[in-house]
Chains A and B, each alone.
Chain A
Amino acid sequence: MKKPILNVKNLNKDFQVKSKKTFFGKPSSVRVLSDISFELDEGETLSIVGESGSGKTTLGRCIVKGVSASSGDVVYHSESGESVDFLKLKGKGAKKFRKDIQMIFQDPYSSLSPRMSVYDIISEPLVANFKLNKSEIDAKVTDIAEKTGLNASYLKRYPHAFSGGQRQRIAIARALITQPRLIVCDEAVSALDVSIQAQIINLLKDLQEQYRITYIFISHDLSIVQNISDRVAVMHLGRIVEQASTDSLFGSPKHPYTEALMSAVPQPDPEQKKSRIILEGEVPNPANPPSGCHFHPRCAYRTDKCVQESPALREVGDRHYVACHYAEELNLKGVHDDAVNIS
């Protein structure tokens, strides 16, 4: 049975930026997240993809309250059936639910304190959230270290003694120790080498199966996203432009931006030097977004309507949402199951 764990409704985030003209000038605001809504069921993985500057990291941080959103709701459904608006909670009220939502960061070299031993790093969330005695903490830390593939005898060491992959395991152990229900992984495997990447992805999948953890997986790497996620949301300039199940999105994308993103991924297959769609230009400046559809300056299918009218996110198939005027008419290319198998 599908049980929702998180409902994000009309989330907006504005950042204040200093006026360039005068030092004392009034700061203006830039909208980096605009009208973000999605649902998340327990035990599923939602991936958020997009180019840098699309607001995917900010969205992740708004959910864990790393930055506070400007408006909107993030409704969390706790295990006991309570539904709370996470954004409106303060102090102790928020702390009660904090342990349920954890985060794994991109760079395992800067996200672990070099002055704390691995044991301290992993046990810190326990000390902060639960009242446990020393032996209980000890048991939990050893248990989680074993599950994440860390050698328990290394726990007294400091992060500098570990390689990138090991450090990411430490970060995962730290996120898991409070037995969270939702983990936000912000580019959790991007900094790792290919062979280590696969180890960590498999670890995340195993842990999900074991504990029914829900992931929000923020990434720019579509090959990994396709491998790990149940549903995908594509972001462009602070908006979700397409959201669908993984199969539906990769099989038949409806937004030209999604098509271009997929086409740009270089495939490890020399025969497949296919005609790639190469987007002209760059991500527009969010402080001065283009009129109408924000994607229109780079879109190959644009018409006058796209320049003038901003398309709304609408449902075009079973839970397949897209923000494009011509979603039904365009025949966009997805990814086909013709990848070669290597013996």
Chain B
Amino acid sequence: MTTQAIRAEQPLLSVQDLKIRIQMDNGEMRAVDGVDFEIKKGKTLGLVGESGCGKSLTSRAIISINPKECETSGTIIYRSEEEQTREELNLLSLDPNSKKIRSIRGRKIAMIFQEPMTAFSPMYTIGNQIMEAILIHRTKNKKEAKKIALEMLGKVGISDQEKRFDQYPHEFSGGMRQRAMISMALSCNPELLIADEPTTALDVTIQAQVLELMRSLQAEFGMAILLVTHDLGIIAQMCDEVAVMYLGKIVEQAPVKELFYNPKHPYTKGLLKSMPRLGGDKSKRLDSIEGSVPMPINMPPMCGFYERCSDRIEGVCNARSVPKTHISDDHMVRCFLYSDSREGDSI
């Protein structure tokens, strides 16, 4: 096998044992606690979980934009496709202000945020802000940058680009702003797009437009997407693979069909059942997961879902931390119900 063939099989991004700790007044919060996943070229990985499960911190750690208070450890290996930089790069080992990471951030790995209103500066025109990224990464020629920016605005379905280019963010509607945001993120043709709740602030009709846009742009540019969301509906429609996060850990990871039709972890099952769905039986009560998400402060080594789990095994689930169990090649679950050993994970 040639080296190229081996490279082609390697994932674009591998996250290994990512831990993010935050020192609080009342102890250490393990916001992200040993997360591993891989993103393959041109594929979409969904990261799903409730608020506070650490999914946003995880996605932000990739481009080192978390606040200073976050103590981050682990490795994030990024394998660039470009000819001259054929090395594997550990993004976490880089200084967040270094030139190296700044040449990747926004260029190779771009991000779109949930709130397009706060992500844009109100003081500059939309065109100016899209051009900024292009001027930093792609060209020093302002005329050319403007041409690229206008072309990108057209690609995301904004008509009348010339006029829109000189408008300020407040003159754009929510959906239009999110489109502009996407055009900015894609203006440097990234290999990986991190989308953190890209449509949560939008109406369903506009959400459908934006998701469709992301899908068609992915087909055109071939970038990989890390989609962070709490909405299982969006996951089902958009992703190839899904990782379910709970309390800083990935509790289940599988290809999208496997996860929806053959969920294993009690939390995944609970989430799927508690979602009201169109066409579902109306007279039936929704199955809800009792209790609420605890704060991961000074947690003893045990399953984080123990208190809310209906299948918990006393003396096992609350005594040790839960190891990973691989049900099949690509289906991982972190639950003692499927573990042969019942031995704790070595931490």
Contacts and interface: CB of A to CB of B under 8 A. Distances in A.
A304 interface: no
A247 to B, nearest CB: 8
A165 B308 CA distance: 15
Contacts of A163: 292-293
Given A262-B278, A270-B257, A278 B289 contact: no
A335 interface: yes
B148 interface: no
B236 interface: yes
A197 interface: yes
A161 to B, nearest CB: 12
A307 interface: no
A194 B200 CA distance: 13
A342 interface: yes
A20 to B, nearest CB: 12
A201 B236 contact: no
Contacts of B274: 194-195, 197-198
Contacts of B289: 195, 198-199
B288 A264 contact: no
Contacts of B71: none
A176 to B, nearest CB: 19
Contact of B280 (A52, A220, A283, A339): A339
B308 to A, nearest CB: 8
B277 A223 contact: yes
A178 B261 CA distance: 45
B123 interface: no
Contact of B288 (A198, A246, A268): A198
Contacts of B279: 226, 250, 335-339
A269 B208 contact: no
A268 B272 contact: yes
Contact of B204 (A220, A272, A335, A342): A220
A251 to B, nearest CB: 9
Interface string B246-271: 00000000001100110100000111
A205 interface: yes
Given A166-B292, A278-B212, A266 B276 contact: no
A332 to B, nearest CB: 15
A122 B142 CA distance: 60
Contacts of A273: 237
Given A163-B292, A273-B237, A268 B204 contact: no
Interface string B283-317: 00111111011000000000000000000000000
B35 to A, nearest CB: 20
Nearest to A342: B272
A227 interface: yes
Nearest to A52: B203
B278 A202 contact: no
Interface in A251-265: 260-265
Interface string B160-172: 0000000000000
B282 A226 contact: yes
* Secondary structure of the B contact surface, majority rule: helix
A224 interface: yes
Contacts of A342: 260-261, 263, 269, 272-273
A222 B280 CA distance: 12
Contact of A266 (B173, B233, B273): B233
A49 to B, nearest CB: 10
A114 B313 CA distance: 39
A339 B209 contact: no
B206 interface: yes
A262 to B, nearest CB: 7
A227 B206 contact: no
A279 interface: yes
A279 B211 CA distance: 13
Interface string A165-192: 1100000000000000000000000000
A94 interface: no
A52 B205 CA distance: 10
B81 interface: no
Given A166-B292, A227-B282, A282-B175, A193 B276 contact: no
Most-contacted residue by chain B among A163, A247, A260 (CB, 10 A): A163
Contacts of B230: 193-194
Contact of B209 (A194, A246, A247, A278): A278
Contacts of A224: 276
A196 B237 contact: no
Nearest to B256: A270
B209 A267 contact: no
A264 B286 CA distance: 22
B286 A202 contact: yes
B275 interface: yes
A226 B271 contact: no
A100 interface: no
Contacts of B204: 51, 220-222, 261, 264-265
A340 interface: yes
A105 B173 CA distance: 24
A276 interface: yes
A271 B257 contact: yes
Contact of A265 (B212, B233, B282): B233
B233 A268 contact: yes
Given A279-B209, A339-B278, 12 more contacts: A163-B293, A195-B271, A198-B289, A201-B276, A201-B286, A227-B276, A250-B278, A265-B233, A268-B275, A270-B257, A278-B205, A278-B209
Top 9 A-B pairs, shortest CB-CB distance: A266-B233, A198-B288, A198-B274, A195-B289, A264-B208, A193-B50, A198-B286, A227-B276, A268-B232
